[in-house]
Chain A
Amino acid sequence: MNTSTHQDGPRAAPGFLRRLLRSPSGAIGLAIVLLLIFCALFAEMLAPYNPAKMGAGGRFLPPGGDHLLGTDEFGRDLFSRILFGSRITLLIGAVAVGISLTIGMAVGMIAAFRRGWIEAILMRSTDVLFSFTETLIALSFVAVLGPSLQNAVIAVGVAGIPFYARTCYAAALVETSKSYFEASISAGAGPARLVLVHLLPNVLPTMIVVATLGVSTAILAAAGLSFLGLGAQPPTSEWGYMLAGSRDYINRAPWLMTIPGIAIAVTVLGFNLLGDGLRTSLDPVERK
């Protein structure tokens, strides 16, 4: 298919993008995520109002008219708040997954590479953490650190570590048992070279897919914490917190609850679809 890229292409990147766009889930997912990033980057220019300004035009205005998605109990413009909320949502996803991914991969690769008692300690403690639900771990972390958006993100990130460690460990075990890895050992490669030059690049594709799928979980978890009042504090425009604040007005102004809910759902869907598309296009078996 992509014989032309074989000659010079490092990792044949154009072929990969083409495969991603050809799968419907990959294309739709990528579109949603790109739209989200666009909103987050240009929130100031896109938003018609200051998201924190109260009483601009009236409280509980329904969608339509001057306020595209209506206003909330303080008269703040919902559309502007959603736009600014996308920033925080993306930031939460990226930072939380970044924390779980880096620590999880380090744990998984070290365990698979060193084996022996290091492996036993690392993986058994991972197993212990794995037996608690992520939300419970995140909750106890926030309980210790105190409620704030920053702490919620750290909590969600830490809670995700066992999952990434397990996945990375499994992927790394497969690679370390392949003969190219042993050939490198025979060539006299040291631990640093083995891990950085051979192990890391070969587990990375798997982990990128897992991380993309994990972004949605992290966003949901952080929104959950905010919903419980343990994450974002007022007046931050965070979707989970907005959802929580609208609880009292569910009959009077249902859009206050629906719209942030839809925003979260679409974001999660976008990352899930993108992760799915990445999985198929990075998988050498499906590639054929």
Chain B
Amino acid sequence: MSALLSVKDLSVSLGGKTLVDGISFDLAPGEVLSIVGESGSGKSMTAKALMGLLPPKANATGTAMFDGANLLAPDTKTPRGTGIGLIFQEPMTALTPVLTIGMQLTEALVSHELCSKDEARSRAIDMLDRVGIPVPATRMRQYPHELSGGMRQRVVIAMMMLLGPRVLIADEPTTALDVTVQAQILDLLKEIVSETQIGLILITHDMGVVAEMADHVLVMKAGKAEELGPVADLFALPVAAYTRDLLDAVPRIDAVSTRAEPETETLLSVRNITKTFQTRGALFKSGAAHRALDDVSLEVRRGETLALVGESGSGKTTLGRVIARLTAADAGQVLLEDTDLTCLAGRDLQARRRAVQMVFQDPYASLDPRQTVGRTIAEPMIIHDTLTKAERTQRVESLLGKVGLGADMARRYPHEFSGGQRQRIAIARAMAARPTLVIADEPTSALDVSIQARVLDLLEGLKQSEDLTMLFISHDLAVVRQIADRVAVMRNGRILELGPASALFAAPKHPYTRALIDVAPVPDPTRKRGKRPVLQGDYPTGPLKEVDAGHWVAG
């Protein structure tokens, strides 16, 4: 079959820097080509070059033949929309917040003069139905903010498909979505490709998504193509060393857990915590109450890693913040070594805080931009310890060494560091307080896979060497599988299942846990499955009952 799109020696340079260096690939009708790489690999830049969306100063060379025209030639007008459609990562920014869904869907059809207004409307409704949006006629009158993230991404896909493109470029289309929603969107894209025989270029950093979706894979690193091949071969026998590293770095949800569960005394005991957030109402109307935590109890044993898993809105972050006393609970107790943290206030609280330290998700907001790294790490010591300046400097340097950074970095400011380095600095700051419990809230979800692997190794190593107990909050089951001893699955402010990681992953007892594990993409192309279960409806949320030793399930 002849190629839909044929790219040869595509290079993009900007300000003397080569961002994309000699990329070549062919895309056939009905084929899914995945471009994989970490941030800065040039994968998004490749897509932008094909769409003619490069920044004005960038310079693209090579050829990209589509429909008999070279897309990279300066005088070619890119058939944006009608020939090649683009789906972005963030569905909210791809839609205009001030126009209804209907207007946005029909606008392109009408402005391209493809059909009349009435016909555009009926075609838009058909397409919304096609991408699995319930009651499409009503949705046409709604605004983007009235829809969930997954629904918005469906609308974006519908918007693109309406124009009948023959190539669709999806740039991290599911990265901003929850894992269950991600599964649905991926299924939808797959269906569209096989039914309409368009070509799909799927740009992603997630090897799991690649394995489930792609026919061919292009691995990119620093602008260069490291490897291009059929998905099965690439996963089975990766040729390039970089591909092997990338595959090794990916945490596997189906890995065999070798972790032994420590049988120790209870360090932290959370009892019947309830937290309700009041949304601000209108002038004469009180706001709606959102129950973030609903009578949550759990225990963390000394020396273990307990993972809190759930989708957005499950209450996992709120629980972590309540334990760290960054959010006050409405009711319940947090007992750390028999001190109730929820009762403390003022100086007692300040003194006790050092025992619980947090590592936050966003490495770019978690360091004070106006403090040197050294001062940031030294802060807990300045507050709690009576050390001389020389002793402090020495300890800061040793902490920097422990997290794998040079001692000379203490004098620098955060903006000089990469995301992964910043996260190491944040970990060093947490260690500086000599905590007994570290709460890591999605510490690697903003990082590239290879960097994620190293940060996870670092946390694991520190946990051993510093005798730490860790509460690990994550949405990523594969990461949790790698690092956790025990796992608590949360949904809508309730714990649905709590048990040893090995038992919970091997034989999940709660239907929601089963579904969560089922939809997570597995980086193994030989494990292709049919349509995944839709994660909706009601799950049992009753009180936890012990079904096995240490394995609790909501009834």
Having A182-B360, A187-B433, A188-B380, one finds 17 other A-B pairs with CB under 8 Å, namely A6-B412, A6-B413, A11-B413, A12-B413, A178-B366, A179-B360, A180-B369, A180-B376, A182-B326, A183-B429, A185-B353, A186-B358, A186-B433, A187-B354, A187-B383, A189-B379, A201-B371
Known: A179-B362, A182-B358. A187 touches B368 (CB 8 A): no
**Within 8 Å CB of A193, what residues of B?**
383
Known: A6-B416, A179-B362, A193-B383. A187 touches B357 (CB 8 A): yes
Residues in A whose Cβ lies below 8 Å from that of B370: 11, 201-202
How far, in angstroms, from A284 to B353 measured CA to CA in the complex? 33
Do residues A185 and B369 form an inter-chain contact, with CB atoms below 8 A? Answer: no
Complex CA–CA separation, A2 to B361 (angstroms): 29
Any chain A CB within 8 A of the CB of B115?
Answer: no
User: Is B357 in contact with A186, judged by CB distance below 8 angstroms?
Assistant: yes
Could you tell me if B326 and A186 are in contact, using CB atoms closer than 8 angstroms? yes
Separation in Å of the A16 CB from the closest CB of chain B? 13
Report chain A residues within 8 Å CB of B379. Answer: 184, 187, 189
Cβ distance B169 to chain A, nearest Cβ, rounded Å = 26
- A202 and B353 in contact (CB under 8 A), knowing A188-B380, A188-B384, A189-B383? no
- Measured as residues with beta carbon below 8 angstroms from the partner, the interface class of chain A is 20 to 34
Cα–Cα, bound, A190→B383 (Å): 9
Measured CB to CB, the nearest residue on chain B to A201 is B370
A-B contact count (CB 8 A): 76
Known: A6-B412, A6-B416, A182-B326. A188 touches B368 (CB 8 A): no
Q: B358–A183 contact, CB under 8 A?
A: yes
CB contact list, B304-360 vs A, under 8 A: 324, 326, 347, 350-351, 353-354, 356-358, 360
Q: For the complex, is A67 an interface residue (Cβ under 8 Å from B)?
A: no
Main secondary structure of the interface of A (DSSP, over half): helix
Which residue of chain A lies nearest to B346 when distances are taken between CB atoms in the complex? A190
A197 to B376, CA, bound (A): 11
Q: Which residues of A contact B360 (CB under 8 A)?
A: 179, 182-183
A228 to B412, alpha carbons, bound, how many Å? 54
Q: Known: A183-B429, A202-B370. Is A188-B326 also a contact (CB below 8 A)?
A: no
The complex places the Cα of A6 from the Cα of B416 at a distance, in Å, of 8
Interface code A175-210, partner B: CB below 8 Å = 1, 0 otherwise?
Answer: 000111111111111100100011001100000000
- Chain A residues whose CB sits within 8 angstroms of the CB of B368 once the complex forms: 180-181, 184, 198, 202
- In angstroms, how far is the closest chain A Cβ from the Cβ of B349? 8
Are B367 and A180 in contact, with the CB atoms below 8 A?
A: yes
Q: Using a CB-CB cutoff of 8 Å, which residues 1-22 of chain A contact chain B?
A: 6, 8, 11-12
Give A185's nearest chain B residue, CB to CB. Answer: B326
Of the candidates A183, A185, A188, A197, which one forms a contact with B366 in the assembled complex, judged by CB atoms under 8 Å apart?
A183
Cβ contacts under 8 Å, A182 to chain B: 326, 358, 360
Verify if B160 is at the interface (C-beta below 8 Å from A): no
Residues on A with beta carbons closer than 8 Å to the beta carbon of B347 = 190
A227 CA / B380 CA spacing, docked (Å): 56
Interface size on B, residues (CB 8 A): 35
* Residues in chain B near residue A8, CB distance under 8 A: 411
Kindly state the separation between the CA atoms of A99 and B376 in the bound complex, as whole angstroms: 32
A residues adjacent to B (C-beta < 8 A): 6, 8, 11-12, 178-190, 193, 197-198, 201-202, 284
B549 at the interface (CB under 8 A from A): no
Which residues of chain B are within 8 angstroms of A11 by Cβ–Cβ distance? 370, 413
Which parts of B417-474 form the interface with A (CB within 8 Å)? 426, 429-430, 432-433
Residues in B neighbouring A180, C-beta threshold 8 A: 365-369, 376
Q: Find B324's partner among A12, A186, A202 (CB 8 Å cutoff).
A: A186
A135 CA to B350 CA in the complex, in Å?
Answer: 45
In the complex, the answer to whether A188 meets B383 with C-beta atoms within 8 Å is yes
Q: Smallest Cβ distance from B14 to chain A, in angstroms?
A: 13
Measured CB to CB, the nearest residue on chain B to A190 is: B350
Complex CA gap A11/B432 in Å reads 25
Q: Which of B347, B358, B430 lies at the interface centre, i.e. has the most chain A CB atoms within 10 A of its CB?
A: B358
Task: Give the shortest distance, in Å, between A82 (CB) and chain B (any CB).
Answer: 41
Nearest 4 CB-CB pairings of A with B: A179-B360, A179-B366, A187-B380, A201-B370
Q: How far is A11 from B383 in the complex, measured between Cα atoms in Å?
A: 24
- Minimal Cβ-Cβ distance residue in A for B370: A201
A residues in contact with B412, CB < 8 Å: 6
Task: Output the least CB separation between B355 and chain A (Å).
Answer: 10
Nearest A residue (CB) for B383 = A188
Contact between B365 and A187 (Cβ–Cβ < 8 Å)?
A: no
Please, how many angstroms separate the alpha-carbon atoms of A201 and B369 in the complex?
Answer: 9
Nearest chain-B residue to A3 (Cβ)?
B416
Within the complex, the shortest CB–CB distance from A185 to chain B, in Å, comes to: 7
Docked CA distance A133–B218 (Å): 63
Instruction: Give Cα A45–Cα B211 distance, bound, in whole angstroms.
Output: 81
Q: Distance (Å) between the CB of B389 and the closest chain A CB?
A: 16
Q: Could you show 26 A-B contacts with beta carbons less than 8 Å apart?
A: A6-B416, A11-B413, A178-B365, A178-B366, A179-B361, A179-B362, A179-B365, A180-B366, A180-B369, A182-B326, A183-B358, A183-B429, A184-B368, A184-B379, A186-B324, A186-B357, A187-B383, A187-B433, A188-B350, A188-B351, A189-B383, A190-B350, A193-B383, A197-B371, A201-B370, A202-B368
